[in-house]
Structure 1
Amino acid sequence: MSASLSITSAVTDPGLLDLPWHEPLDVWPDDAIATLPKGISRHLVRFVHLSDYVVAIKETTEEMARREYDVLRTLQRMDIPCVEPVAVITGRLDEKGEPLMPVLVTRHLRFSLPYRALYSQTLRTDTATRLVDALAVLLVRLHIAGFFWGDVSLSNTLFRRDAGSFAAYLVDAETGQLYSGGLSNGQRENDLEIARVNIAGELLDLEAGGRLDESIDAIETSNGIIESYRSLWKELTGWESFDKTERWRINQRVERLNDLGFDIEELAITTDGASTQVRIQPKVVDAGHHTRRLLRLTGIDAGENQARRLLNDLDAYTASTYPGRKVDDEVVAHEWLARVFEPVVRAIPKDLRGKLEAPEVFHQLLEHRWYLSQNESRAIPLAEALSSYIDTVLRHRRDEATVIAPVTETISMPALDTAAIPLSDDDVVGGSWRDKV
């Protein structure tokens, strides 16, 4: 390792010192490289094993690497969904003493996928729409925080499954800029137009490669981000006027925002003494209402839609186990965690646990159980549903924690011994409450 090598890092991982920084990134040995799906990038990017996790290493200039590193750290402190910056490496020299390009190191977001890897053959209509909607939500969050992206695209975004939807995470921030005074309408419209043009180009590229469903109109789908963005922006920041006798509409507005996954930190309410009108506008909003409630009650860190689904199950458990009784939320949440959620997670075979995150598995299990009950016109016990879900659904999914292959082979596994785990309705939840919901 060259004595001139400089490492600026927010983490204290000595494994950084062991990587072959004296070699060009494109010739790093195979044993250091992690096989993961990559999006399109104007820079050389490689996924590399570091200690017990994976990092993305991007060659760029020193100025751009340091700037993006600082921007990503700031966005993380603001709780904006983005990749985690690990280090900036400069002063690299090859064995002949010739300079090598500086690099930015970011932590790979587990269970995330670039849009091209979501479907190995064709991108379906509903999937394309959900990706654009997820990107619109991310863009609104960035704009509320005063961040101008400057290069909005599907390629610069990673997506994680979130209870039937997708959650979007910013990957490339090298063109971004934070403004303490917020963004002007012109800046927001500029980002929207960049998004519309880039998404259209990306979808047309998929179409040219035969990977876009014939029913999808690339231009119409890309235009969808404009509609999704403006609808959400209006809901989050727009003024609403109503009569003073309709004060219930304040609570209705708050609940509507909570359903979208946003909390209200402060409301600006103005009244006109000469009339009976009240105008209301959320002044500061933040995303993650359900995520934070689930994390506070159970310690489970989940996506917003996953958290909403798990909380619904927790609420149903509470209502059925303690009907008509006022109970401590944290006590019941701990009971639900120990008797319902954790036994399900422990029952997943070890070699299948990399398929999906635990909250997504639990969400899909609830969906699977509901469909089984509908098809068979009977209440399906949780253990039976779990065994069926593992054998017919989870076993055949691609591994989204590590390698995403175009085709996943079915692996022969022994049948789940449901008698070995406490997963009957009586054992898990102390009654037949699940038969009632």
Structure 2
Amino acid sequence: MTIHNMETTKTHSSSAHVKFHMDVHNRRLLQDLPWDALLEEWPAHGVVPLQVRRGESRHPVIFVEREGVRYAIKETTPHMAEREIANLREIDRRGISALSPVGSVIVSAPPILLEEKGPNGLPEYISGDRGYTVTKLAPRVIPHVLLYRVPFTRKTKRRILSAIAILLVELHEHGVYWGDPSLANVLIRIAGQRIQAILADAETVEFFPGPVNEGLRQQDLESFGESLMWQAEDLRYAQGLPEDEELIDDKDFRYLEQRYRILRREHRQLHYSLASATRFQFQHMLETLNERGISLLGIGGQTFQQFATVLPGWYQRRIHELLDIHVPRKYARRFYNTILSHQYHLSQNEGHHISLERAAKDWYTRYHLPAILFLRQHLTKGQDPLQAYFSFLEYRWKLSQKVGHEVPLEEAKSSPLYIFQHLNWTKN
């Protein structure tokens, strides 16, 4: 989490007293906005809102750009603005995907008359003060109301629900009870071939020093299930769809629950077994996760936060970023998992975290290239060494599974069975 020098700055306008609770840079960019007016009146004061995709919100929201920085500004009460920004900062500190907090703005204004004669016969007023939460506008995100405009196939639905299940487990395992989980409070980021759910409303969250208890977990799951049903119904009416056409049904919620429980179980197993697992055991865990539609994107201090739902092609793109090589799609996942396993092995041996970039280059130089050179010596001109290499990886993987431990490269390539089945025939 980035730490800024925070300042509280007061500015005066014609009818309001404004306090900025944010760092100097962002305050400078935002201080000349018409804070003495309601958000809905800002366009009349010369503010040109960004035309971006937006979802539903209980509060007025505006998107603005200041010197190339894009902000989302939400109008609420002073207490809720300060609470939500504090919550977002704590969520960020715990490493969970959420809106990026900038700060809050508090505007003092005259009291608002509620009733000419209250219960005691005197005028009754409420505070006219307003609060604003300011966040960085998340790039490449889709509000839930727009998700239904894309082809909402069963596969697309399940990828989105898997991403939301990952977010829920991340929150609960890191001691965050959401309190108001719903599609309306989620943004979906589709970056390349990766789908990620981002928490977009933190007003109601509560924090605990350890994982959230069973009762609160179930409350969040049930609340999200209820929201799925009524939001899908609202969208059906809004789009003029017939009553018998359901965008989301009970099967979808059961799928979300199933994904949540699988992810939670995998998290628990990784938490207890990762520290002592061999490289072969670690790669076996990766394969098991992949079979369940879950991908581990990298190893870090908080391993589980690297889990994701990815689209076809993500592994190829990531390998190209790391090594500048192209790998056929059908082999890319195992190729990438091999790099992850090497990162895990290096980190264990050296006693500290090794970056994926360093691990990829080390593995490529020490293991991949020597294997390719070995295979070139046994292949004819017409044989593709890369195809043979993946056959070798497949053979080594199956041999490791059979003996119950990782088979070294030298032992695998000198195996009589491998030479007979995969090399000798190529020369005939």
Is 1:218 equivalent to 2:253 in the alignment? no
Instruction: State the percentage of identical aligned residues.
Output: 28
Evaluate the alpha carbon distance shift between residue 239 and residue 59 of structure 1 in structure 2; reply closer, same or farther with a 3 A threshold.
closer
Larger radius of gyration: 2
Q: Partner letter of residue 178 of structure 1?
A: F
- State the match for 1:5 in structure 2: 18
- State the match for 1:18 in structure 2: 32
- Quick check: which one's helix share is greater? 2
Evaluate the alpha carbon distance shift between residue 187 and residue 289 of structure 1 in structure 2; reply closer, same or farther with a 3 A threshold.
closer
Evaluate the alpha carbon distance shift between residue 241 and residue 43 of structure 1 in structure 2; reply closer, same or farther with a 3 A threshold.
closer
After TM superposition, the structure 1 stretch with the greater mean CA deviation from structure 2, 41-50 or 226-235, is: 41-50
Evaluate the alpha carbon distance shift between residue 287 and residue 129 of structure 1 in structure 2; reply closer, same or farther with a 3 A threshold.
same
- State the match for 1:253 in structure 2: 285
- State the match for 2:72 in structure 1: 56
SS in 2 for 1:237: helix
Select 2:319's aligned residue among 298, 301, 312.
312
By how many angstroms is 1:31 displaced?
Answer: 3.6
By how many angstroms is 1:23 displaced?
Answer: 0.7
* 1:261-272 superposed matches below 5 A: 261=296
Residues 308-366 of structure 1, C-alpha deviations (whole Å, 9 max, x = no match)? 3323335582889xxxxxxx965997xx9xxxxxxxxxxxxxxxxxxxxxxxxxxxxxx
Q: Partner letter of residue 175 of structure 1?
A: T
By how many angstroms is 1:32 displaced?
Answer: 2.9
SS in 2 for 1:5: strand
* 1:417-436 superposed matches below 5 A: none
Residues 260-285 of structure 1, C-alpha deviations (whole Å, 9 max, x = no match)? 2266669xxxxxxxxxxxxxxxxx64
Q: Partner letter of residue 258 of structure 2?
A: E
- State the match for 1:422 in structure 2: none
**Contact 1:75/1:82 (8 A) holds in 2:** yes
After TM superposition, the structure 1 stretch with the greater mean CA deviation from structure 2, 117-126 or 68-77, is: 117-126
Is 1:205 equivalent to 2:241 in the alignment? no
By how many angstroms is 1:185 displaced?
Answer: 1.3
Q: In the aligned structure 1, how far is the partner of 2:203 from the partner of 2:20?
A: 19
- Please give the root-mean-square deviation of Cα atoms over the aligned residues, in Å: 4.1
SS in 2 for 1:28: helix
**Contact 2:56/2:184 (8 A) holds in 1:** yes
SS in 2 for 1:32: coil
- State the match for 1:166 in structure 2: 195
After TM superposition, the structure 1 stretch with the greater mean CA deviation from structure 2, 204-213 or 144-153, is: 204-213
Q: TM-score, normalised by structure 1?
A: 0.58
Evaluate the alpha carbon distance shift between residue 212 and residue 263 of structure 1 in structure 2; reply closer, same or farther with a 3 A threshold.
farther
Evaluate the alpha carbon distance shift between residue 19 and residue 143 of structure 1 in structure 2; reply closer, same or farther with a 3 A threshold.
same
Q: In the aligned structure 2, how far is the partner of 1:304 from the partner of 1:141?
A: 20
**Contact 1:290/1:308 (8 A) holds in 2:** no
Q: In the aligned structure 2, how far is the partner of 1:160 from the partner of 1:143?
A: 21
Residues 71-98 of structure 1, C-alpha deviations (whole Å, 9 max, x = no match)? 111222222111111121113448x9x9
Q: In the aligned structure 2, how far is the partner of 1:113 from the partner of 1:290?
A: 17
**Contact 1:150/1:191 (8 A) holds in 2:** yes
* 1:104-183 superposed matches below 5 A: 104-120=133-149, 123-183=152-212
Residues 89-121 of structure 1, C-alpha deviations (whole Å, 9 max, x = no match)? 113448x9x944211111110111102123547
Evaluate the alpha carbon distance shift between residue 51 and residue 256 of structure 1 in structure 2; reply closer, same or farther with a 3 A threshold.
farther
Give unpaired runs (5+ residues) of structure 1: 267-283, 292-302, 321-327, 337-437
More relative contact order, 1 or 2 (CA 8 Å, 6+ apart): 1
**Contact 1:146/1:183 (8 A) holds in 2:** yes
Is 1:28 equivalent to 2:42 in the alignment? yes
Q: In the aligned structure 1, how far is the partner of 2:158 from the partner of 2:94?
A: 27
Give unpaired runs (5+ residues) of structure 2: 1-11, 113-126, 329-355, 365-428
Q: Partner letter of residue 118 of structure 1?
A: L
Select 2:83's aligned residue among 63, 67, 70.
67
Q: In the aligned structure 2, how far is the partner of 1:181 from the partner of 1:221?
A: 29
Q: TM-score, normalised by structure 2?
A: 0.59
Select 2:132's aligned residue among 73, 98, 103.
103
Q: Partner letter of residue 252 of structure 1?
A: H
Q: Partner letter of residue 150 of structure 1?
A: G
Evaluate the alpha carbon distance shift between residue 66 and residue 31 of structure 1 in structure 2; reply closer, same or farther with a 3 A threshold.
closer
SS in 2 for 1:7: strand
Q: In the aligned structure 1, how far is the partner of 2:94 from the partner of 2:315?
A: 22
